[in-house]
Amino acid sequence: MKKITGVDWLEFSFKEQKNFTGIVKWHSGRKEFFTNGLFHRIDGPAVIRADRFVEYWINGKLVSREAQELYYSLLKLKGLL
């Protein structure tokens, strides 16, 4: 997985973000997980802010923690992980 560390918006253009898969760690301490340019993470929060507030995203859609955990469990049950 590709990691980009210590960037700001000017360095990480929307063109790069459009197809990016990996983790971006911003100067502010915020971490974002992307798959094909969308916020996405199935084993935890896709956005972790510097103040520790978290957001759960699946395929670019904001979901609750419970929905993310259920999705992860179903994938494991089906043997897809």
Domain regions of the chain by residue span: 2-77
Mean pLDDT of 46-69: 96
Q: In DSSP terms, which residues pair with 54 in a beta bridge?
A: 48
Q: For 21-40, what is the HEC assignment?
A: CEEEEECCCCEEEEECCEEC
User: pLDDT value at position 10?
Assistant: 56
46 and 28 in contact (C-beta within 8 Å)?
no
Residue 43's H or E segment, with its range, is none
Residue 27: pLDDT band by 50, 70, 90 thresholds?
Answer: confident
User: pLDDT value at position 7?
Assistant: 62
